[in-house]
A and B are shown apart, each in its own frame.
Chain A
Amino acid sequence: MEDGRKPIIQLIDVVKFFKQQKVLDKVSLTVREGTTMVIVGGSGQGKSVLLKHMLGLLKPDEGKVLVFGMDMAGISKKELKEVRQEYGVLFQNVALFDSMTVFDNVALPLRERTRLSEAEIRTQVEEKLAMMDLEGNDEKFPAQLSGGMKKRVGLARALILNPRIVFFDEPTTGLDVTRSNEIYRLFYKTQAQLKYTAVIVSHDVPKIFKLADYVALVAGGKIQECLTPEDFQLSENPAIKSFVKETMGPIYSSEEEEMGFYEADQR
């Protein structure tokens, strides 16, 4: 996949063990500036672990993670902080600050990282919350929100500082179809505006493909292949083929087959 755009994140032969379990086995992946990389794969295959390497939260046992050409394992605390100032992150479990209100959660990056006045912060936060359809929930605590609402608060918090790179771990899991469509439209719009680079982990295949410039499948501790969505669906790689068949099968199969599929379930 030749592409003129500058690589921003490069994983080079990353190996990661948890005790005896080899989760990542020589994973290499390049994310280029201004593109959207979608990472798909079965549950427990190491997608979130992969993402945490890019965030610098986990260190590879072997291999390298380069962000802006700097080795995440070798840089100083200060440089790491500078790299992360460009990040906007949504964790899989959202990780909202549970003793702060929704408003304070979204306002925190502004309060700690900028010198804006409280009034300016209020306008910006209200705007982001409105974008996520969360008006009137400012004073609630995370424990008082539904799962999908938490995701949306997390997204608002991740986007509040207009980051250059965003990492979303399953941004639409737990959202209804309308909402997730809206979120996708929003991603599309904001990316067109802000030109950020995005790394999105998602199970929402095939819908997420519309957003993707590249799709990478994680299976068996490896990136099976990293292709454009069109090529991905036509790939001859057996792992990708079976993934595509599993996830997109029912849509393309005839109605009878689908009936059979559900009836088999009921029996």
Chain B
Amino acid sequence: MGIFLFHCFLGIIKPPYKIGPVIRQINFIGARSLFVILFTGAFTGMVLALQGYYALRKVGSEGFLGSAVGLSLIRELGPVLTALMVVGRAGSAICAEIGIMRNSEQIDALECMAIDPHKYLMAPKFLAGIISLPLLTFVFDVIGIFGGYLVGVGLFGVNEGAYFQGMYSSVDWRDIHMGIVKSLVFGLLIIWIAAAKGYFLHYERSGGFGAEGVSRTTTNAVVLSSVTILVWNYLITAILL
């Protein structure tokens, strides 16, 4: 899997560069995930405000609601939930697509045409994943903060100024930095696992044959990516804190 990643990076670096396939993949991985991200982002922000309000009211510090919502979104929930959504939408699709291409000898055909599948197939996906994830995470965070605003300020009457002021003063560059690092790493991990699982379908221990092989491998890839994301989330937090 490491060698695979290495070849994919060579594929990204080596000319000629083609922008069209990357845009198409960004559209697929990024733009088409937007709606899901908007939806989950809003509800995550709302539930954070809800929980946060009840917890903070007990100690009489509702004014910290803004900073609580903002920090948990930017540092943890934004990158993680965005990544999990993208795993479900794009990771599974990429694994299935490549797996089917492997199964029906389309990857062999590419190789025999002297077209490097790492460059032709994988490189645009990696680039798109690394570009899309931070952007989606950003959208998730912003929508989540407004969702929190809606519940906190709109529903419970927390002071509007305090909500944003508290957030503004407690979120500093390091938190944003952590969010960006996480989303970049998750973007890479998602595509890596999905693409490699599909690419090495024929080496699957349980046998990657036919439709069932593809579906089983795709399920494995989704589970593996999700777990990996949560583990790496912990690791990055531990390193950067």
Contact = CB atoms under 8 A, between A and B. Distances in A.
Interface in B78-105: 97, 100-101, 104-105
B120 A112 contact: yes
B108 A57 contact: yes
Contacts of B101: 97
User: Looking at chain A, what size class is its interface with the partner chain?
Assistant: 20 to 34
A87 B115 contact: no
Nearest to B7: A77
A144 B113 CA distance: 24
B204 interface: no
B113 A98 contact: no
B105 A93 contact: yes
B112 interface: yes
Contacts of A56: 111
Nearest to A84: B114
A113 interface: yes
B109 interface: yes
Contacts of B113: 84, 87, 89, 108-109, 112-113
Nearest to A85: B114
A55 interface: yes
A89 B108 CA distance: 10
Nearest to A112: B115
B106 A95 contact: yes
A84 B112 contact: yes
A239 B84 CA distance: 60
A72 to B, nearest CB: 12
Contacts of B106: 95-98
B108 A95 contact: yes
A142 to B, nearest CB: 10
B116 interface: yes
B104 A57 contact: no
A112 B111 CA distance: 12
Nearest to B118: A77
B125 to A, nearest CB: 14
Interface string A66-107: 000000000000000110110101010101111100000000
Given A95-B104, A109-B115, A113-B114, 9 more contacts: A57-B108, A89-B109, A91-B105, A91-B108, A97-B109, A108-B115, A109-B113, A112-B113, A112-B120
